[in-house]
Amino acid sequence: MQTPLGIKTEERMELQILKADPGLMPILKTGDLIQVKLLERVGKAVYFEIPKIGMGVIQGVELANARDVLKKLNVGEEIAAKVVVPENDEGIVELSLTEAGRQKVWQEIKDLKEKDEAIKVKIVDSNAGGLIAELNGLQAFLPGSQLSNEHYPQGTEGDRQKMAEELKKLVGEELSVKIISINPRTNKLIISERETAITSSKNLLQKYKAHDVISGIISGVANFGAFIKFADDPGIEGLIHISELDHRIIDNPKEIVKVGDLVQAKIVEIKDGRVTLSLKALKHDPWEDVSEKFKAGMTVKGVVYKLTPFGAFIRLSEDIVGLIHVSEFGSIEELKKGLEKDSEYEFIIDSVKPEDKRIVLKLKT
């Protein structure tokens, strides 16, 4: 192999002395990121000086990959390089500039994540699952679920095409986000806009505690619940899970609330900047006096509310739903033959269990 003459005789002697005493010379490992100085270009190789180590080389595929970077690099200038082979047959360190650049970028991304600070990114593309942004030359994915409620496309749950159309409107926008997941091996970088909102609300939440009752405005409705902004502190946005909207079973939060509604809610929990609330906690629980209206052995009329693999839910009143188990019919197919959704039938109450919020029914024959 043809080698450069860029290292002076006294420097070569110094390196030989260092090699003779390994304790004086840093030990390189594959994958190390080091600073190197360009010596010269010789044939199909480019040589670098590695302080206190010796000489490094970029050749073959690595040389082709680094061509654009090398065009801008002058003799004597320093650059970061990654160790590919600590010492080849000629005693030279084989290097990679492209891998070093990639590693450096990922390290910068890791540092940003550790700082846990909000950063600005520009949205460059979208798909049905979320948005794609550019961060330090890397593509970052912002899942739709990690959008702030301000940017989350309302009313698109279950409709991927509509979701994609709404998300496309955000392309070109600049959003404030936090890095929540990185994986250099798979080139995955996940960011969140919602996390920035959570962070900004932490200080505001200090004056609130569990069981406090607040006034709020419904700011968004999703299939899993409703978002509510505190009327006194609009910077705080909490979630009311679908199970906390009402005592009765509901299929869609829109049965109870809509965007813009002014409501009172009880704080259930404040944790890590997130606040969960309840509407039903401030409503009378109809199961408290259910035993006065419904007793075992009674014949009642009810409307089939929902058919499931384990039975059918029967609406006995506006607030009370009973259950007839699939075993009463033998199979789900027979149940569907015997009961039709939204139709009214007569049932016999088998048992009433207020503590479990359950009334078990049998079909009257």
Q: Which of 77-81, 126-130, 147-151, 329-333 has the lowest mean pLDDT?
A: 147-151
Q: What is the DSSP letter of 355?
A: G
- The HSE-up count of residue 192 (CA atoms within 13 Å, CB side) is 15
All domains in the chain, ordered by first residue: 9-102 (2.40.50.140), 116-198 (2.40.50.140), 205-282 (2.40.50.140), 286-363 (2.40.50.140)
The pLDDT assigned to 62 comes to 86
The pLDDT assigned to 223 comes to 87
What's the mean pLDDT in 287-301? 93
Sign for the pseudo-dihedral over CA of 47, 48, 51, 53: negative
The pLDDT assigned to 333 comes to 93
Indicate the pLDDT class of residue 128, thresholds 50, 70 and 90.
confident
Counting DSSP H helices and E strands in the chain, the numbers are: 8, 20
Indicate the pLDDT class of residue 15, thresholds 50, 70 and 90.
very low
pLDDT digits (tens, 9 = 90+) for 45-80: 999 999 888 899 999 888 888 888 888 889 999 888
What's the mean pLDDT in 96-100? 79
Which range scores top for mean pLDDT: 128-132, 204-208, 279-283, 285-289? Answer: 279-283
Indicate the pLDDT class of residue 157, thresholds 50, 70 and 90.
low
The pLDDT assigned to 179 comes to 92
The pLDDT assigned to 9 comes to 47
Q: Would you say 63 and 99 are in contact if contact means Cβ atoms under 8 Å apart?
A: no
| 329 vs 2, higher pLDDT | 329
| 81 vs 200, higher pLDDT | 81
Position 101 pLDDT exceeds 50: yes
| 195 vs 324, higher pLDDT | 324
Q: What is the mean pLDDT of the chain?
A: 86
Q: Which of 133-137, 174-178, 206-210, 299-303 has the lowest mean pLDDT?
A: 133-137
Q: What is the DSSP letter of 49?
A: E
Q: Would you say 86 and 93 are in contact if contact means Cβ atoms under 8 Å apart?
A: yes
What's the mean pLDDT in 132-147? 89
Whether this model's pTM surpasses 0.85: no
Position 13 pLDDT exceeds 70: no
Indicate the pLDDT class of residue 158, thresholds 50, 70 and 90.
low
pLDDT digits (tens, 9 = 90+) for 231-246: 998 888 899 999 999 9
Task: Give the residue from 225, 215, 135 showing the smallest Cα distance to 177.
Answer: 135
CA distances from 187 to 35, 142, 190, 219 (A): 24, 14, 10, 35
Position 14 pLDDT exceeds 60: no
Position 365 pLDDT exceeds 90: no
